[in-house]
Amino acid sequence: MREYYPLLILGAIVGVLSLCFVLAYAMMKNKKEAIGFDRNMKDSEIARRLLHYAKPHVGKFIFVGFVMLFSIAYDIVSPLLVGEIEEMVKDAGFELSRLFTYVGVYAAILLVSLACTYVQSIVLQKTGQKILSAIRQDLFAHIESLSHEQLHQIPVGKLVTRVTNDTNAISMMFTHLLVNLLKNICVILGVLVAMLLLNYELTLMVLCFVPFVVLFTVIFRKFSRRAYRRVKDGTTDINTYLSENLSGVKITQIFNREARKMEDFRDKSLQLGKAKQNQIFVFSVFRPVVYMLYIASVMCLMYLGGKGYIKDTAFMGQVITSGTVVTFYMYISKFFNPIQSLAEQFNFLQSAFASAEKIFTVFDMQPIVVDEPDAIELDEVKGEIEFRDVWFAYVPGEWVLKGVSFHVSARETVAFVGSTGSGKTTILSLICRNYDIQKGQILIDSIDIRHIKISSLRRHFGQMLQDVFLFSGTIRSNILLRKEGVSDEEVMEACRYVNADRFIDKLEGGLDEIVRERGNNFSAGQRQLLSFARTIVHKPAVMILDEATANIDTETEILIQDSLEKMMNIGTMLIVAHRLSTIQHADNIILLSHGEILEQGTHQELLRKKGRYYQLYTLQYHKQQLQSEN
């Protein structure tokens, strides 16, 4: 019995350590809420949806599986070869030529295995990237299809994280994880069978350590899941914060809030840093622990193998040769390594699944405003619009429009006026079906807009919104918005029509002048004129203009006024105006107050009425008089 003391001592040390870990595990269980992923989708459901993306590349995966067999074979065969060589070298009748043959075979297997690994990773990377871009594109297209209401619900930074970081995590799964998982499982099983065939007693000795590895792995997974989750949340948090605050950095500067914002950012950055450190710490504990088990098993092997004469040593009745010891020494590392990687890879897999779930949750957001099954295509629109007792609320119960009814004949110009928050912008966005109304009907050419395909409906509208959005690119790309078959002359003609040519001509690049993000190298008035040109080029039947409240210099105001008057002749025009002078020639002026129509009629009719419009007009008129006197 005494001869197995070293073994017993080792076992005891490992036992105590595992006990410590069991205790730690029990403590973790109490904090389960903080640890568990709040996953709602089943793994099988996620796998099914991911496989859908992998399906077109199934041939490549089969090829990789085939190539992988070679590297698995190398892992299993090479220790046997080295063992053989060791035996042979010790032999009395040792021949150098035989040694060369063996070494040659070993080198050949190694080379083939390396080549296979190379081919395998190239094919996988390519396939992974293809799958990744397919998911990314689908996701982007889906986000584009979401309704305004849904888009308001998710912060932009979160969406950016979904399209970038989360899709990356999924691509890792296709390029590394799945194949390595499979390979590691095969290697573990293969090595186990080979060890059993070689010497079952030593195999049993090695297997004694497996329960501990499994135990540590389970605990490691618990810890690392939590660490992963923190890193992920931290990344999303920072992305969200960045995307919002970088867009608003000018406001931050104007209000001298840099230090405050920096503090917030530092907190978030430190939090992410801590989460990363925590993650590294978890790994840095796990790896040495498994390594310790590996060393312990190697020591046992050496002890048993080295006892007495190496040759013909018996352990529990079976003979151990020096070759067996060498082969086992190699097998043990080939056995422990994949177990350790498996644990880590399962974690990556979990995190990839979590990312996939987040992505699929976005996919599952069904656009609220959708085409009816039998929605019709509108080829031509005359431009007649009618609101019939329309009730609408952004938040259930809080009515923004309360029974609004009006009629606009084709090619008429109708203006909406009213105090801020009275529902003017809301009316315009309802016509384009950015939101669906709760009660009543909106009709275009006497057809309920819910019976018209959304894309076909919006094609006939030219929207010029309150805050003009220019994309980074050129003036041309911003006017065309990828509309094809429009010549430069036509673009310039549109610009001339709306008086945008005056400032474009002065620019060095003309139509090719660079537009920076959100068009911040142009003035508000210039942006407005560009949005007019954009609308004219797209030749809509109905033009919708939400006039900017921003102050525009008098010269540009005159230009805008002039181009508006010209545009009124093109088709139906709905216009929200803050300067009442803009809309004096409108066919109908609708005055809104708290979501209800208070007055309507032409400029003259409303003035004669001496009601709210009259008050507003005289107020603005006097203000203008005062300004011009100053």
Ligand X SMILES: Nc1ncnc2c1ncn2[C@@H]1O[C@H](COP(=O)(O)OP(=O)(O)OP(=O)(O)O)[C@@H](O)[C@H]1O
Q: Tell me the one-letter amino acid at 607.
A: L
| Binding residues vs ligand X (CB under 6 A) | 152, 394-395, 400, 418, 420-426, 466
| Smallest separation, CB 418 to ligand X (Å) | 6
The DSSP code sequence of 474-488 is: EHHHHHHTT--S--H
| Smallest separation, CB 434 to ligand X (Å) | 9
Question: Strands 413-418 and 588-593: what pairing?
Answer: parallel
- With CA atoms as reference, report the closest residue to 611 among 622, 600, 620, 621: 600
Question: 81 — phi, psi (to 5°)?
Answer: -65, -45
Q: Compute how many residues bind Mg ion; rule: CB under 5 A.
A: 1
**Interface pattern 607-626 for Mg ion (x via CB under 5 A):** --------------------
* Residue among 239 and 426 whose Cβ is closer to ligand X: 426
152 binds, among ligand X, Mg ion, none (CB under 5 to 8 A by kind): ligand X
* Residue among 302 and 619 whose Cβ is closer to ligand X: 619
Q: Which of residues 386-445 bind Mg ion (CB under 5 A)?
A: 425
**Interface pattern 20-59 for Mg ion (x via CB under 5 A):** ----------------------------------------
The DSSP code sequence of 323-364 is: HHHHHHHHHHHHHHHHHHHHHHHHHHHHHHHHHHHHHHHHHH
| Smallest separation, CB 411 to Mg ion (Å) | 24
143 binds, among Mg ion, ligand X, none (CB under 5 to 8 A by kind): none
* Residue among 393 and 507 whose Cβ is closer to ligand X: 393
Quickly tell me which residue has 């190697």 as its tokens: 298
Under 8 Å between Cβ of 171 and 128: yes
| Smallest separation, CB 435 to ligand X (Å) | 8
Angle between helices 322-364 and 200-247 (to 10 degrees): 30
338 binds, among ligand X, Mg ion, none (CB under 5 to 8 A by kind): none
Count CB atoms within 10 A of the CB of residue 62.
10
Quickly tell me which residue has 């590996």 as its tokens: 294
* Residue among 158 and 225 whose Cβ is closer to ligand X: 158
* Residue among 127 and 422 whose Cβ is closer to ligand X: 422
Q: Which two tokens stand for residue 203?
A: 């195999």
422 binds, among Mg ion, ligand X, none (CB under 5 to 8 A by kind): ligand X
141 binds, among Mg ion, ligand X, none (CB under 5 to 8 A by kind): none
| Smallest separation, CB 420 to Mg ion (Å) | 7
| Smallest separation, CB 400 to Mg ion (Å) | 11
* Residue among 183 and 527 whose Cβ is closer to Mg ion: 527
The length of the chain is 630
| Smallest separation, CB 387 to ligand X (Å) | 14
* Residue among 291 and 394 whose Cβ is closer to ligand X: 394
232 binds, among Mg ion, ligand X, none (CB under 5 to 8 A by kind): none
100 binds, among ligand X, Mg ion, none (CB under 5 to 8 A by kind): none
Q: How far apart are CA 69 and CA 71, in angstroms?
A: 6
420 binds, among Mg ion, ligand X, none (CB under 5 to 8 A by kind): ligand X
Q: Which two tokens stand for residue 115?
A: 């080549």
* Residue among 229 and 424 whose Cβ is closer to ligand X: 424
* Residue among 245 and 425 whose Cβ is closer to ligand X: 425
| Smallest separation, CB 437 to ligand X (Å) | 13
* Residue among 423 and 462 whose Cβ is closer to ligand X: 423
The DSSP code sequence of 246-307 is: HHTHHHHHHTT-HHHHHHHHHHHHHHHHHHHHHHHHHHHHHHHHHHHHHHHHHHHHHHHHHS
| Smallest separation, CB 454 to ligand X (Å) | 18
* Residue among 323 and 418 whose Cβ is closer to Mg ion: 418
Q: Which two tokens stand for residue 455?
A: 């894309």
588 binds, among Mg ion, ligand X, none (CB under 5 to 8 A by kind): none
Residues in contact with 276: Cβ distance below 8 Å, sequence separation at least 6, in sequence order: 231, 234
| Smallest separation, CB 419 to ligand X (Å) | 7
* Residue among 165 and 425 whose Cβ is closer to Mg ion: 425
Q: How far apart are CA 618 and CA 607, in angstroms?
A: 9
The alpha carbon torsion through 214, 217, 221, 222 (nearest 10 deg) reads 70
Q: How far apart are CA 346 and CA 318, in angstroms?
A: 37
Under 8 Å between Cβ of 242 and 236: no
Under 8 Å between Cβ of 487 and 515: no
* Residue among 269 and 425 whose Cβ is closer to Mg ion: 425
Count CB atoms within 10 A of the CB of residue 568.
20
Q: How far apart are CA 294 and CA 332, in angstroms?
A: 7
626 binds, among ligand X, Mg ion, none (CB under 5 to 8 A by kind): none
The SS3 of residue 376 is: strand
476 binds, among Mg ion, ligand X, none (CB under 5 to 8 A by kind): none
* Residue among 145 and 425 whose Cβ is closer to Mg ion: 425
| Smallest separation, CB 426 to Mg ion (Å) | 8
The SS3 of residue 568 is: coil
> How far lies 472's CA from each of 434, 479, 509, 519, in Å?
24, 12, 15, 7
426 binds, among Mg ion, ligand X, none (CB under 5 to 8 A by kind): ligand X
| Smallest separation, CB 590 to ligand X (Å) | 12
| Smallest separation, CB 610 to ligand X (Å) | 24
**Interface pattern 149-178 for Mg ion (x via CB under 5 A):** ------------------------------
Q: How far apart are CA 613 and CA 595, in angstroms?
A: 16
Q: Which two tokens stand for residue 531?
A: 């949005």
| Smallest separation, CB 417 to Mg ion (Å) | 11
Question: 477 — phi, psi (to 5°)?
Answer: -65, -30
Question: Strands 447-448 and 514-515: what pairing?
Answer: unpaired
394 binds, among Mg ion, ligand X, none (CB under 5 to 8 A by kind): ligand X
Count CB atoms within 10 A of the CB of residue 531.
24
- With CA atoms as reference, report the closest residue to 267 among 295, 223, 234, 239: 234
400 binds, among ligand X, Mg ion, none (CB under 5 to 8 A by kind): ligand X
Q: By the criterion CB under 5 A, which residues form the site for Mg ion?
A: 425
